[in-house]
Homo-oligomer: A and B are copies of this chain.
Amino acid sequence: MEGGSAASTPAALPYYVAFSQLLGLTLVAMTGAWLGLYRGGIAWESDLQFNAHPLCMVIGLVFLQGDALLVYRVFRNEAKRTTKVLHGLLHVFALVIALVGLVAVFDYHRKKGYADLYSLHSWCGILVFGLYFVQWLVGFSFFLFPGAPFSLRSRYRPQHIFFGATIFLLSVGTALLGLKEALLFNLGDKYSAFEPEGVLANVLGLLLACFGGAVLYILTRADWKRPSQAEEQALSMDFKTLTEGDSPGSQ
């Protein structure tokens, strides 16, 4: 169980990561298939603008956000700085795609004269987007922008990890709520007659939950955590030792 300090990759990790990617890609493809087969496809300048919303959110706030969390497990032996930049960049892509998804739905509502932000899905969605943006800003200024003291970094790190995982899970939950809303709006009574669209969307919902579970599993397995490297130990990890006057790297 305590194999975390070895530099090599744990034997089972690549299979779990591959499985999570298979789930994630199936999820994106199935969202596209649902919108294409049953919702008329996607186009910005028409009633189909709404359909950009679920696709952008599944790609950005579910698939890319999930993959950004896995970066530290997958690139275990790269330099920490490279991995950090990749982690930050994936989150930027996710944020931008989610912003497009957000614009799509507000623009569609405006054109149609629909009310905004009345549903539980929309409340959760705005909360998730706001938290995700704040988390990115704080994460950037603590970990990527130079100058944050080691003490602050090491105190904030567990909070960053917890809130990162929580925002991801809340994103998955919000996507489930949105899917449910779309089904009930579009299918109505036909939903209870096991219409193919309803069954497909239910499977999509289970896939969403499974992708969330797979990412969480890889993220939380203690023996799969990224081993801290010699450079990091010397540079930033041994804050306590530094302040107590010992030489860095000893322990």
A residues contacting B by CB (< 8 A) are: 1, 114-115, 118-121, 123-124, 127, 158, 162, 166, 169-170, 172-173, 176-177, 179-181, 183-185, 191-194, 198, 201-202, 205-206, 209, 213, 216-217, 220-222
Contact = CB atoms under 8 A, between A and B. Distances in A.
Contact of A209 (B124, B185, B220): B124
A4 B177 CA distance: 38
Given A158-B221, A209-B170, A179 B120 contact: yes
15 contacts: A114-B192, A115-B192, A118-B198, A120-B183, A120-B205, A120-B206, A123-B206, A162-B216, A162-B220, A166-B217, A169-B169, A170-B213, A173-B173, A176-B176, A180-B181
Contacts of A222: 158
A221 B166 CA distance: 13
Chain A interface helix/strand/loop/mixed:
helix
Contacts of A217: 162, 166
A124 B203 CA distance: 10
Contacts of A193: 115, 118
A12 to B, nearest CB: 13
A205 B118 contact: no
A158, A177, A216, A222 — most chain B CB neighbours (10 Å): A177
A241 to B, nearest CB: 13
A115, A173, A222 — most chain B CB neighbours (10 Å): A173
Contact of A206 (B127, B192, B198): B127
A176 B172 CA distance: 12
B177 A119 contact: no
A205 B128 CA distance: 14
Contacts of A209: 124, 170, 173
Contact of A202 (B114, B120, B158, B213): B120
Contacts of A121: 180
Contacts of A191: 118-119
Nearest to A179: B120
A104 to B, nearest CB: 18
